[in-house]
Structure 1
Amino acid sequence: SKVQKLNLFCLWSVSVCFSKLTCEEGHSGPTYESMQAVFDLKPFRPAVNLSNPTIANISFTLYAVLGVNEKTQILSTFLWLRLYWHNEFLIWDPEECDGATRISLPVKHLWSPDIIVYEFVDDDVSQACPYVYVNHTGHIRWDRMLRLVSACNLEIFSFPFDVQNCTFTFGSYMVSPALTFKEMSGNSKRYLEASGEWELVDILGETSILQFGIDEWDIITFWVVIKRRPVLYVVNLLIPSSFLMLIDILSFYLPPHSVDRASFKMTLILGYTVFLLIMNDLLPSTANGTPIIGIYFSVCLALMVISLLETVIITNVLHHSSMKYQEVPNWVRVVVLKHINSLTVGVFVRNCNNLAKSLDVILCNPSFPVLGISAMPELSQICQYLGDLRAHLTSLQKESELQDQWCHVGYVLDFLLFRIYLLLITFYALVIISMWCVWISQS
C-alpha cells in the first residue's frame, strides 16, 4: 500500500542519511551495495530534512555561436554547462575508503536538478555526458554540453555593424549562479575569440523569482551581448558598391556631345543590378524592417538612375538645335548664359561670308564698271548665284550660332547638375558613415 511504501522510504532514508557509505578493504571508494541504496532513491530529492532546500548552482561558457537566423529570429549557440548540487546521501570517509575523495557515477542513477531554459525552441541534439563527479562530502558536479536553439529579438537595422543582445533564462525550484557573471564572460571570451562571424562583447545577468500562482521558481537571466565582425560584408558589399558609384561619378567627365554617355550609364546600372542580385543572399531579411545597408543600396541605385536622367536632359539640350532656327528662350539666356561671353563664330564660315560680300559688292553693283565694260547677262547670273550663296552662308552661320548657344547651355547645365550630384552623394555618404560610426562607438 501507499502507507507501507511511505514508511519504507522513511526508514530507508533515515538509515542511509544517518550512516555514511561503507567501504571494503582493498577497494578505493564506497561499495556498490551501499550506493545501490542511494540509486534506489533517485526519484526523491537527496535531503535528510525535506524542508531544507537543495540549491543548484549553474554556470556556463559560451563556446561557439553556430548561427543567427534573422528571418525566424533564432540564435543557435553551443554552451559548456556546469551544474553543482549537494546530495546528502553520498557521503563517505576517505580514510576508510583507501583515501578516495572523488568518484564518478552514472548520472541516470542519481537525482539531478530540473533546469529549464525558457527561450528553448528546439530539441537538444548535443552529445550527452553520462557521468557526474561526486565528492566525499556529497557535492556533485555535472559537466554537460548544450546546443541551445533559442528565440532572440534580433535588431538588424545597423547591419553589418549590429550588436545583438539575447536572453538565456535558466529556471528551477532553487537555482543560483556558480560563478560571477564577470568570470563567465571572461571564460566565454577566451574560448569564443577564434570563432567565425560573431564575437562576444559581454555576459550580464541577474537572479529573480518567477511566480506562477502559488508556485515560485528561481530563475537566472543571462544577457549575452554579441557583435558581428563586419569585415566580410565591408569587403564583399560596401567596397564594390563604392567602386561602382565612383565610376558613375567619373562618367560625367566623358564629353556629352561626342560620346554616348547614356549607354555607358545604362550598362553601369545593369551591372549594379546584377551585383545586388548576386549579393542578395548575404543580406539579412526580417518581416519587421530593412537593414540600413539595404536602404544604402537602394539609394545608390536611385542615384545612378538620377545620373542617367541628367544625361538624358543634357543630350536633349545639346541636340535641341536640330530644329531650324529655334532660338534659345530669353529666360535661358538670363539664367544660364548671363555670365558667358558672346559666342564666337567659326573661322571658315566667317571668311566665306566676307568673301561673298566682297564679290557681291564688286560684281553686282550696277554703277561699278568692270574694266570699262558694262555688266553682261552672265555677270548678272553670277551675282544671283553669289546672292544665293550669301543667303546660304548666312543660314549656316545662324545655325552655327544657335548650335553653339545650345551647346553652351548644355555644358553649363551639365556642370551645375554634376556639382549638385556630387553634393548629394557627399551628404549621403557622410550621413551613412556617421550613423555607422555612432553605432560602432556605442557597441
Structure 2
Amino acid sequence: MTEEKPAELIFICFMLLHGYVAALNCTSPTPESLFNALEKELFPKHLIRPSKSFSDPINISIAITLVGIMGVDEKSQTLKTVLWQVLEWDIEGLSWDEKECGTRRVSIPREKLWIPDVQIYEFTDEDKSPQTPYVYLYNTGRVFDDKPIRVVSSCQLEIYTFPFDIQNCSLTFGPYLHFSSEVRMVQGATPEEILQESREVLMTNGEWELADVGIAHSTLAIDVGNYSEIKYFIILRRRPILYVVNLLIPSCFLITLDLFSFLLPPQSVDRASFKMTLILGYTVFLLIMNDLLPVTGETTPLINIFFSISLALMVASLLETVFITNIQFSSSQYSAVPQWLSVLVLQYLAVVVFLPPKKNNRVTVSLQPPATDPAKNTKTSIISARDPQGVSDDKPPVKPCPGCSAPPEPELVELRKLSRDLMAIRLQMDKQCRGSSTSQEWQMIGLVIDRLLFGLYIVFIFVGFITIMSVWIWNNSYTV
C-alpha cells in the first residue's frame, strides 16, 4: 500500500500538469478502436471532476424545454410539469480526429463519465421520469446530456383573480454539493428560444397555457461557500372558459332573476316563497360547483367573495320582502313611526332612491258648526255634554218638565239624535284617519327600503360585471 501511494500522487500531478486526458489515438476508424482508446484514457477517471486543476471551475450549460403541464394543485401549492433538461460541459484535454476514429460523436453509458449533480431546488416529490442510460460525447470533448424530468415543484400560487389568474412559478437549477468555485451554471438558450420550442412541442392542451419564460442568474451564499444557480420563471395562464360557463354565467342568471323579482307586487303575489326558492337553488348550485373552486388557506379568491355577496343580497332581499309583506297586512296595528326613522328614511334615503314623499292631498272635513252661529254651537255643546251616553243609546232621554204638561217637540228629539250620530261618526273617522296615516307612513318606509335594495342589486351587478370584464381583458393582454 505504501508503494502504491507515491505512484498515485505522481499520476495525479502528471494529470494536473498535462490536462485531464490527452488526445485519443485510434488505430483504425472503427467503434472498437475508439472505445478501446476511451477505455484506456477516459473511463477509469469517471470519478474525477474533468478539469486541469482543483481551482478551475467547470461550466455547465443548461437549457430546458417545457413539454407538458400536468396540473396545478392550489391546496398543496405545487406545480406538476414535464421537462426536457439538456446539460452540456467539456472534458478538459479530450479530443480525437474524426477521420482517424471514424465518427464525430459517440453515445456512451452514463456511468462511464463524471456527471454533475444538478438538481431542481423546488423539488417536493420523487422524480419518476424514465431514466436515460446514455449520453453523447463529441470529438471536441463536449458532453451532451439530454433527459426528461417529471417535476413536482413547490410554487406560491396567487389565486385572488381566479379563474383569470396568472401564475409565476420558478424552477431553480444548480449543483447540490459543488460550490461555484467547482461547478458554474451557464445559460444555454435564450428565453425566447425556450418559449418558442416549448410551444411547438407542448403536449397538453388542458386548463393551463404557457404565457412566457424568464431566466435569472443568481448565487446562493451560505456560510461555507457560494452555489451557482440558474432560475427559470414559468409564466402560466389559466384558461377561464370552463369556469365562466359553469360558475359565473349560472350565478349571474340567478342573481338577475332575483333582481327582477322586485317587480312582483308583494300585496298580490307571494314574493317571499319565490325568493326562498331562488336561495335554495343558489345554495345547491354552490354545493355542486364547490369542487371547481380553489382551496387555499392564504388568499380568498375574488370569485368566492362574489358568490358570498350574491348570497347575502338574496338573503337580505328575502328579509326585506318579509318586512314589506308584514307592513302591507299589519301596518294598521303599528304604533307611530319614530321620528329618527321617519327623518332618515323618508327625507334622506327617499331622495337617494329618487322616491320623494308625496304631498298630503286629503281634505279634512270638520263637523263643528260654523262660528257665525254661536247660539246653535252652544246648544249643540250643551246637548253633547248632557248626554254622554248617547253614542250607544238610540232612545232619546226625556227631559223632565215639571212646569210643562206638553211633551218635548219632535224636532228637538231628532236634532239630539242626529248630533249623537254625527259625533260617533266623527270619532270613528278621526281614529281611522290617524291609523291610515301611520299605515301609509310605514308602507312608504317599506317602499323606500325596497327601492334601496333594488338599487344596491343593480350597482352590485354593474360593478361585478365591470370587474370581471376588466380582469379578463387584463389576463388576455398580459405580457412579460
TM-score bin (small chain)? 0.7 to 0.9
Distance in 1 between residues matched to 2:124 and 2:443, nearest whole Å: 69
1:431 CA drift (Å): 6.0
**1:44 aligned partner:** 48
In the superposition, relative to structure 1, how do residues 327 and 7 fare at CA in structure 2: closer, same or farther (>3 Å)?
Answer: closer
Is structure 2 residue 207 aligned with structure 1 residue 187? Answer: no
Query: Which amino acid is 1:256 matched to?
Result: P
Shift of 1:4: 3.8
Look up the match of 1:360. none
What does residue range 301-340 of structure 1 map to in structure 2 within 5 Å? Answer: 301-321=311-331, 323=333, 338-339=357-358
Which residues in structure 2 correspond to 1:150-165 (within 5 Å)?
150-165=153-168
1:38-437, aligned counterparts within 5 Å? 38-88=42-92, 90-98=94-102, 100-172=103-175, 173-192=183-202, 195-321=205-331, 323=333, 338-339=357-358, 402=436, 405=440, 409=444, 412-413=447-448, 416-426=451-461, 428-429=463-464, 432-433=467-468, 436=471
> Partners in 1 of 2:34 and 2:301 — Cα distance?
63
**2: distance between equivalents of 1:215 and 1:414?**
70
* Alpha-carbon distance change, 214 to 319 in structure 1, aligned in 2, over 3 angstroms: same
5+ residue gaps, structure 1, are 345-363, 365-379
Report the alpha carbon displacement of residue 11 of structure 1 after superposing the two structures with TM: 6.0
How far the C-alpha of 1:33 sits from its partner, in A, is 2.3
Maintained 8 Å contact 1:158/1:439:
no
Task: Identify if the C-alpha distance between structure 1 residues 49 and 435 changes in structure 2 by more than 3 Å, giving closer, same or farther.
Answer: same
Q: What is the identity, as a one-letter code, of the residue corresponding to 1:221?
A: K
Inter-partner Cα distance in structure 2 for 1:416 and 1:184: 58
CA RMSD of aligned residues (A): 3.6
Deviation of residue 5 (structure 1)?
Answer: 3.6
Aligned to 1:354: none
User: Which 10-residue stretch deviates more, 127-136 or 413-422?
Assistant: 413-422
Q: Partner amino acid for 1:169?
A: T
Give the Cα separation in 1 of the matches to 2:300 and 2:294: 8
Q: Pick from 26, 44, 60: which aligns with 1:22?
A: 26
1:278 is aligned with what amino acid?
A: I
User: Post-superposition shift, 1:438?
Assistant: 7.3
In 1, distance between residues paired with 2:172 and 2:335? 78
Query: Cα gap change, 1:131/1:91 in structure 2, threshold over 3 Å: closer, same or farther?
Result: same
Give the residue type in structure 1 aligned to 2:262. Answer: F
Q: Is the 8 A contact 1:170 1:219 kept in 2?
A: yes
Q: 1:15 to 1:428 in 2, by over 3 A?
A: closer
Do the aligned residues in 2 keep the contact of 1:320 with 1:406 (CA within 8 Å)?
A: no
CA contact (8 A) 2:313 2:457 kept: no
CA drift of 1:185 comes to 2.2
8 Å Cα contact 2:20/2:51 also seen in 1: no
Q: Distance in 1 between matches of 2:84 and 2:158?
A: 26
SS at match of 1:149: strand
Distance 2:174 2:20 in 1: 30
Which one has a bigger Cα radius of gyration?
2
The one-character-per-residue Cα deviations of 1:209-251 (angstroms, maximum 9, x if unpaired) are 3333343322111222111111111111111110110111121
Letter in 1 for 2:143: I
- The CA distance in 2 between the partners of 1:15 and 1:254, in whole Å, is 93
Structure 2: which amino acid aligns with 1:153? Q
- Give the TM-score of the pair, scaled to structure 2: 0.72
CA shift, 1:429, in A, is 1.9
User: What SS does the corresponding residue of 1:56 show, helix, strand or coil?
Assistant: strand
Deviation at residue 10 of structure 1 after TM alignment: 5.6
Range 330-339 or range 2-11, more displaced:
330-339
Which is worse superposed, 15-24 or 235-244? 15-24
Range moving further from structure 2, 8-17 or 36-45 = 8-17
Per the alignment, residue 384 of structure 2 pairs with none
> Offset of 1:30 from its aligned partner?
4.1
> TM-score, normalised to structure 1's length?
0.78
Equivalent AA in structure 2 for residue 192 of structure 1: L
After superposition, the Cα gap between the structure-2 partners of 1:108 and 1:316, relative to the gap in structure 1 and judged at 3 Å, is same
Give, in whole Å, the separation in 2 of the partners of 1:82 and 1:252: 65
Give the CA deviation at 1:32: 2.9
Q: Secondary structure of the equivalent of 1:287?
A: coil
Q: Distance in 1 between matches of 2:191 and 2:32?
A: 35
- Following the alignment from structure 2 to structure 1, what is the Cα–Cα distance between the partners of residues 23 and 473? 65
* Cα distance in structure 2, aligned partners of 1:329 and 1:36: 104
Aligned length: 397
